[in-house]
Amino acid sequence: MNDFPWAEAAATGVGSHPGDDHVEALRVVFGELPMPYLPELPGRGVGADMIGRTASLLVELPVEVQPSGWRFADRPGRDLKRARDHLSRDLDALEEVAQSYTGPLKVQVCGPWTLAGAVELRYGDKTLADPGAVRDLVDSLAEGVAAHVAEVRRRVPGAEIVLQVDEPGLPGVLAGTVRTASGFGRLPAVEPAPAAERLKTVLGAAESNGSAPFPIVHCCAPNVPFKVLRMAGARGVSLDAALLRRRDEDHIGEAVEAGIAFLLGVVPGTDVRLPDIGVVARPATELWRRLGFAPARLARQVVLTPACGLAGASPAYARAALATCAKAARVLREDPGE
């Protein structure tokens, strides 16, 4: 179970970047990180945001923007075209920047439950309110994600794909705290078993010819549902280390013992003065020590990242944050007792 696509002392980012220069963002992630990724630049506007970008992957479920946000539409229109154009340009730039690259490459998509809690049906309610609509969304998303991963593989044939499914909304879906479209009520909680089953459909969608991307789930919210993520088949969990509580550590220990990787967010996503790399690495080393695992496993099973996306940071800070994560990851290998 400890067969990870990255080498020891790995670091990566969560997904989003500031600004609108997608080529420069790619150069930064390929220049600073042992595990680069396809950045998202929501500052470019409609269709570059997490919801719109992933909704553009849906098969036969066109979307459009309304004053309330993204909504399913009768036919493809300008908003969907804009989202697909953004992604197409990003893939063109990826192919150029990643020439001859071999190694782990991460791609991010919004998860089905977060998407269902954000995209509205044609008549205005959230997709999450209709179990049949959720099922259709999941099937469409799985097909779209499989095609997206295949396209990335075609453009970067030396890449070993890590598929990150972003589910910041999943804790709210499970707790029944997602508001209705009107904002006056809350949608019923989804039970853990069906929540895991739908997520599993997307995590396993891109397997083809015996080759599957390494599936991880990112959840930068409190109360990460570790059991649901494991039931869904996640091989890694990405989270904000600052949000962890001692009550989470039993779940983390069980997951580590089962061979699950952890991508720990250890530097803020917006501009601050970055601390010494030993301080940055400390949440990982101290967690590992408290859990009682062998230090030799730390640099292999833990990857360091910013706490969340970097869209709200300055470009200079975004570069520095990623470089700091990469340097701190080497501490996990060279001095895991730091």
Residues in the chain: 338
The whole-number pLDDT of residue 208 equals 55
CA distance 46 to 215: 27
Question: Which residues make Cβ contacts (< 8 Å) with residue 60, sequence separation at least 6?
Answer: 140
Cite the DSSP H helix spans in the chain.
22-32, 50-55, 78-97, 112-116, 131-155, 170-175, 192-203, 226-231, 249-257, 277-291, 295-301, 315-334
The whole-number pLDDT of residue 181 equals 84
The whole-number pLDDT of residue 205 equals 86
* Parallel, antiparallel or unpaired: strands 69-72 and 63-66: antiparallel
The whole-number pLDDT of residue 1 equals 44
User: For the chain (length 338 residues), average pLDDT per consecutive 10?
Assistant: 86 97 98 98 95 97 94 96 97 97 98 97 93 98 96 96 97 95 90 98 77 92 95 97 94 96 97 96 95 93 97 98 98 79
**Angle at 288 (CA atoms; ends 283, 290), nearest 5 degrees:** 95
The DSSP call for residue 332 is H
The whole-number pLDDT of residue 210 equals 54
CA distance 276 to 232: 37
The whole-number pLDDT of residue 101 equals 97
First to last CA, the chain: 26
CA 99 to chain centre: 24
Q: Is 185 exposed, middle or buried (0-12, 13-18, 19+ CB in 10 A)?
A: exposed
The whole-number pLDDT of residue 124 equals 84
CA distance 45 to 298: 39
